[in-house]
Amino acid sequence: MIAELYCMVTSSKYFIADLVEEMGSLNAVASQIVAFTLDPECDLDKLTRLIMSDNVMSMRFLALANSVAVSRGKEVRDLRECLIRLGLERVRNVALLMGMHDMAPSNENSANLDMNEFWKHSLATACCAQKLSTLKNGPNPEDAWMVGILHGIGIIALSQQVPEDFQNALLRARALKIPLAEAEMTILEFHHGELGGRILNRWKLPRIFSESVEFHPENFEKQEISQESFAMTNLLLDSIELVRAFGFGDSGDGIPARPLEQVIEDIGLEETVANELAIQVEQEVREISNMLGLDLPLSPAPGPLDASPRKAARLALEGVEDSLAREELEEQLDMAREIQRRLLPKGTPDIPGFSLSAVNHPCHHISGDYFDFINVQGGATGVVIADVSGKGMPASLLASNVQASLRALGQVFPDPGELLVHVNTALFASTDPEHFATLFLAIMDPDGSGFRYASAGHNPPLLLRSDGVVEWLNPAGTPLGMFEEMVYPVTRVAMAPGDLLVAYTDGVTEAMDSREREFTEAGLEQSIRRNRGQDCESILSGVIKDVTLHVKQGENEDLDISPHPENSPASPLEGMSDDLTLLVIRKES
């Protein structure tokens, strides 16, 4: 094997300038965003209009601005306000990250390099560098985050432009347990850091980025680079070392990870701080990958990413592993509950000619149900009910993305079908096919005569006419994010005084009793007929009570089952395996 490795040295050589040219630039929108944010006199209005030209980018910025970590409980719907909240440095970072990911998607592998593992490593390094910078009062934390993301750009270029020689370098590094840069020097006569630095120079990024990326794989002297680059490069090296010890992803290096105890001692971290840092970095990698639509597995089988908190926990007392895992799970569920709570509007809008009420009772597992009221171009109100695939944090984050996209694009597209087309395009581009959402959208007529609706594979709402006739509004489109190019037909429905529209999620009709019998659409219709003479809030309470009695056979008569329209979601209902989300609209005289 070693003999074969030495034969690799005879490979042909390349000019770095040619590889930089072949690598190309960021996509147009990302490149322009970076240029705007680097301008001290950045025109925020122009930057806002630029980002609005890209539906996917707009959705990601809005979702990030409304994330639990950034929003502090204050929702933002306007893209300009979103950019102010994030700050120009973070806007720059997101644009660069998405531009890089477009060049090397996490779901595509090349030259024996697992891009999922590469992106895990890059995101973990970025998060770790940012936190170490804050802990040590080091370089700008946002710049540290960006250097952590950019440090592997040369690896991306080599894997794409010279895959055969890069594969040989990877094999050599792993077989001889040497740094990847050393193996690259043997085969190519330059390393990924040099190439990465040249690429960043071409992209006209600040010197601190290009120098840190170029010199981090080398043994360099302090006088070779600027003072700020020297500090940033050392911070990057500490972060890479720590991430390798934690076991977050794989950058292709053949160097075995040093014991975590040695690494944190060399860096100067307390054991408890390192333990907390490992958990925080893992959580942030998962949150960022979800929020920005990176195709990283969220809950893989036991592997490097999941093992990292356990590795760190070994520094503490015996048995801490289980305690930390429980705490982490509960913290993630708390975050998911907070996201779900903030997805729901605080009250119901006044829509001429209609009365309405809505409720969401979350199950203890937390799913992605939500309802919303959006303003669309022209002043009309859109009524939304949606159900996102999955449970827990991933479902809540995806629901947040869907809501942000709807609210942003609703200001541009007043037609419900056209609006869903653009939301679907954005969602498809930012998620994998396993993550999707069913959704019903009704745009209420301003004159109170009815509504126009489009449905993305959602449970058919029930329309109970004043004369007792029932209509089911069957969906004519597929779920959002499942297929790239879809059409969502629009249907107009006229409403007469006394007509009721009831939209719901499958947690209502699929609620099962102890014999696994579902509540069904027929049960919902019976409940609506029985309660139709009451106001909208009372109708909702009646349906929730009927579902609860169906599941519990009368055991929960003291449960809080009121709609809580001003403080949604309401309390979880015992025995439910899925959220109960309902929305009722009545046409008034």
**pLDDT (0 to 100) of residue 296:** 57
Q: Which of 103, 134, 165 is the last residue of a domain?
A: 103
118 and 205 co-located in one domain: yes
Arithmetic mean of pLDDT, 519-538: 94
Q: How many CA atoms, within 13 angstroms, populate the side-chain half-sphere of residue 302?
A: 4
Query: How distant, in Å, are the alpha carbons of 494, 500, 502, 581 from that of 470?
Result: 14, 10, 11, 20
Give the lowest-confidence range in 13-27, 328-342, 345-359, 399-413: 328-342
CATH of the domain at 390: 3.60.40.10
**pTM for the full predicted model:** 0.53
Answer yes or no: do 312 and 243 share one domain: yes
CA 508/CA 581 separation, integer angstroms:
7
Q: In what order do the strands lie in the sheet with 491-494?
A: 367-375, 381-391, 437-444, 450-456, 491-494
pLDDT tens track for 46-94: 888 888 777 667 777 777 777 655 665 566 767 888 888 888 888 888 8
Assigned domain for 326 exists: no
Confirm if 502 and 583 have CB atoms less than 8 A apart.
Answer: yes
Model pLDDT, residue 222: 79
Residue where a domain stops, chosen among 103, 118, 150: 103
Q: What's the pLDDT tens digit per position in 557-567?
A: 444 444 444 43
Residue 316 pLDDT exceeds 80: no
**CA 35 – CA 29 distance, rounded (Å):** 10
Q: Does residue 356 share a domain with residue 459?
A: yes
* Weakest mean pLDDT among 199-208, 258-267, 571-580: 571-580
Of 391 and 247, the one with more pLDDT: 247
Residue 332 falls inside a structural domain: no
Does 236 share its domain with 357? no
**In this model, does residue 569 exceed pLDDT 80?**
no
Residue 131 sits in a domain of what CATH number? 1.10.3210.10
Q: Which of 283-292, 412-421, 527-536 has the lowest mean pLDDT?
A: 283-292
Residue 183 · residue 170 · CB < 8 Å? yes
How is 99-152 classified by DSSP, letter by letter? HHHHHS-TT--BTTB-HHHHHHHHHHHHHHHHHHHHHTT-S-HHHHHHHHHHTT
Is 368 in contact with 389 (CB distance < 8 Å)? yes
**Cβ-contact 393, 286 below 8 angstroms:** yes
pLDDT tens digits, 118-143: 888 999 999 999 999 998 889 999 89
Residues in the chain: 589
pLDDT in the model for residue 557: 42
Contact 97, 61 (CB under 8 A): no
Same domain flag for 252 and 349: no
| Residue closest to 402 by CA, chosen among 384, 383, 375, 380 | 384
- DSSP calls for 283-330: HHHHHHHHHTT----SS-SS-HHHHHHHHHHTTS-TTHHHHHHHHHHH
Cα–Cα–Cα angle for 366, 565, 549, rounded to 5 degrees: 65
Both structure tokens of 19: 């590889």
pLDDT, position 11: 43
Q: Is residue 501 part of a domain?
A: yes
Same domain, 567 and 522: yes
Is the pLDDT at 24 greater than 60, yes or no?
Answer: yes
pLDDT at 497: 96
- Look at residue 98 in the predicted model and tell me its pLDDT: 82
What Rg value do the Cα atoms of the chain yield, rounded?
Answer: 27
Tell me which range, 194-203, 221-230, 304-313, 357-366, is most confidently predicted by mean pLDDT: 194-203
Q: Which of 103, 132, 149 is the last residue of a domain?
A: 103
Q: What is the pLDDT of residue 32?
A: 87
Q: Are residues 452 and 545 in the same domain?
A: yes
- Mean pLDDT in the chain? 80
Q: At 179, list the tokens.
A: 């740094």
What single-letter amino acid sits at 467?
Answer: D
pLDDT score of 1 more than 60: no
Residue 219 maps to a domain: yes
Q: How far apart are the first and last CA of the chain?
A: 85
Q: Is residue 538 part of a domain?
A: yes
Rounded to an integer, the average pLDDT of 219-230 is 85
Query: What would the mean pLDDT of 330-340 be, rounded to a whole number?
Result: 53
Share of the chain above pLDDT 70, in %: 78
Indicate if 354 and 498 belong to the same structural domain. Answer: yes
Question: E strand or H helix at 543, and its extent?
Answer: helix 536-552
Asked whether residue 216 falls in the same domain as residue 118, the answer is yes
Give the three-state DSSP class for 384.
strand
Which secondary-structure segment (H or E) carries 216? none
Residues 552, 456: one domain? yes
Instruction: Give the model's pLDDT for residue 536.
Output: 95
**Helix-, strand-, coil-residue percentages of the chain, each rounded to 5:** 55, 10, 35
* pLDDT computed for residue 295 by the predictor: 54
Of 293 and 564, the structure prediction assigns the larger pLDDT to 293
Return the pLDDT at 463: 97
Report yes or no on 67 lying in a domain.
yes
| Host domain of residue 74 | 25-103
Number of domains in the chain: 3
In a domain, 576, yes or no: yes
Strands, E assignment, 365-485: 367-375, 381-391, 437-444, 450-456, 462-464, 470-472
Tokens at 405, concatenated: 């996209």
Distance of CA 31 to the CA centre of its chain: 22
Q: Select the more confidently predicted residue: 320 or 37.
A: 37
Domain identity same for 312 and 365: no
Average pLDDT of the residues in 265-283:
87
pLDDT value at residue 380 = 93
For residues 30 and 115, state if they share a domain. Answer: no
> For 425-476, how does the pLDDT look when each residue is reduced to its tens digit (9 = 90+)?
888 877 766 678 899 999 999 999 999 999 999 999 999 999 999 999 988 8
Of the two residues 482 and 235, the one the predictor is more confident about is 235
Strongest mean pLDDT among 10-24, 82-96, 303-317, 541-555: 82-96
Residue 353 resides in a domain: yes
**Residue 96 and residue 326: Cα distance in Å, rounded?**
35
Strand-pairing partners, residue 386, are 370, 439
What 3-state DSSP class applies to 175? helix
Judged against a pLDDT cut of 60, whether residue 542 lies above it is answered with yes
Task: Inform me whether the pLDDT recorded for 390 exceeds 50.
Answer: yes
Contacts with 79 (C-beta within 8 Å, 6 or more apart), sequence order = 48, 51, 52, 58, 61, 62, 408
